[in-house]
Amino acid sequence: MPTVTDFLQRYPQFEKLGESIIELFLSDAFAEMDKNRWGKLYERGGLALTAHLLTLNQWTAEDNGNPQRELTAESVGDLSVSYAQSSTVQSDEFYRTTAYGQEYLRLRKLVGVGFMVV
């Protein structure tokens, strides 16, 4: 599994986070992946997934734990906002919320990894 140093070489924007939090999310991300299925893209995919999870963690911390919801409509006059309905089924939408998750999806598509059931 890649180290914090490996992660920060690819994603230096996370340098301000503590090493222990990055290690924790590295462990989480790589626990969700099968090294044999990912082959040569295992490390890149895992690092992208780590960055995605860390970003979501930061958003959640900044928003006092409130869930992130996709904005589907917005008005200015008389202020109106609409959010997408949350789904209990995990789909690719979870990964599309960050650029890092989108990179993870792109790599996952290259290796042909389908749905994973935990």
pLDDT in tens, the chain (118 residues): 899 999 999 999 999 999 999 999 999 999 999 999 999 999 999 999 999 999 999 987 665 545 555 555 665 676 755 555 555 445 788 899 999 999 999 999 999 855 555 5
Which three-class secondary structure string do you get for 41-67? HHHHHHHHHHHHHHHHHHHHHHCCCCC
CA–CA distance, 56 with 98 (Å, rounded to integer)? 8
On whether the CB atoms of residues 86 and 69 are closer than 8 A, the answer is: yes
pTM of the model: 0.74
